[in-house]
Amino acid sequence: MSAKRNRRIPEGLRIDLSGVVENVGDHTRVRGSASLEFSDIYQAEFVRGDDISWNFELRRITGGVQVTGDIMGEVPLSCYRCLEEFRHTISLKVDEVVLTVATGQREPGDMDDEYMVLDEQLDLEPILRDAVYLAIPVRRICSEECRGICPTCGENRNLVECGCPAREPDARLKPLADLKRRLEGR
């Protein structure tokens, strides 16, 4: 995911620490909110909105900043049975240490999305993203009772009683069924 693409960057996602939590022991509280836009099933970007909100304390420690607090809200997901959107509630605790690094100290192999405070700019996105992704269920279903899409007519069976047979006979088995019928007819 590219953080550099043009988009509506949510407020409170990038924090300038200079003059705020400068010395070890300094701390402050930050809040923000964002919505998630999924480009595919595993990739999402934070855009302006209020799907999720966070309330963090930032505390300067030796060599870094400690980020503790909560993320809460609802993540929009699509059900893999019926394809309808549903909202998955999250409530997460965060406790991460983000190292402070100056541009000149960066190693060539350093990744953009490693947790780091670069030149006193703290980007909360990697922390939020990792926490939220981990909270997204592998089984994305709107409810245990979801009856899904009818494989025959494509209707959402939660909404309509389409009346199609529960299971279509496998076309490859048709010759066997014909043979059985012929043998039984003898």
Binding to Zn ion in span 73-92, by CB under 5 A: 79, 81-82
Q: Write each residue from 94 to 133 as x if it is in contact with Zn ion (CB under 5 A), else as -, in one continuous string.
A: ----------------------------------------
Q: Kindly state the smallest distance separating residue 154's Cβ from Zn ion, in Å.
A: 7
Q: Is 159 in the site for Zn ion (CB under 5 A)?
A: no
Q: Which stretch binds Zn ion (CB under 5 A): 5-13, 28-36, 108-116, 141-149?
A: 141-149
From the list 40, 35, 44, 37, the residue with the least C-alpha distance to 13 is: 35
- The nearer residue to Zn ion, 90 or 146, going by C-beta atoms, is 146
- What b/e sequence results for 120-143 when a residue is b if at least 16 CB atoms lie within 10 Å of its CB, and e otherwise? bebbbbbbbbebbeeebeeeeebe
- The nearer residue to Zn ion, 19 or 169, going by C-beta atoms, is 169
Question: Which DSSP string do the residues of 76-108 spell out, in sequence order?
Answer: EEE-TTT--EEEEEEEEEEEEEEEEE-GGG--T
Farthest CA pair distance, the chain: 94
Contact residues: Zn ion, CB under 5 A: 79, 81-82, 142, 146, 150, 152-153, 162, 164
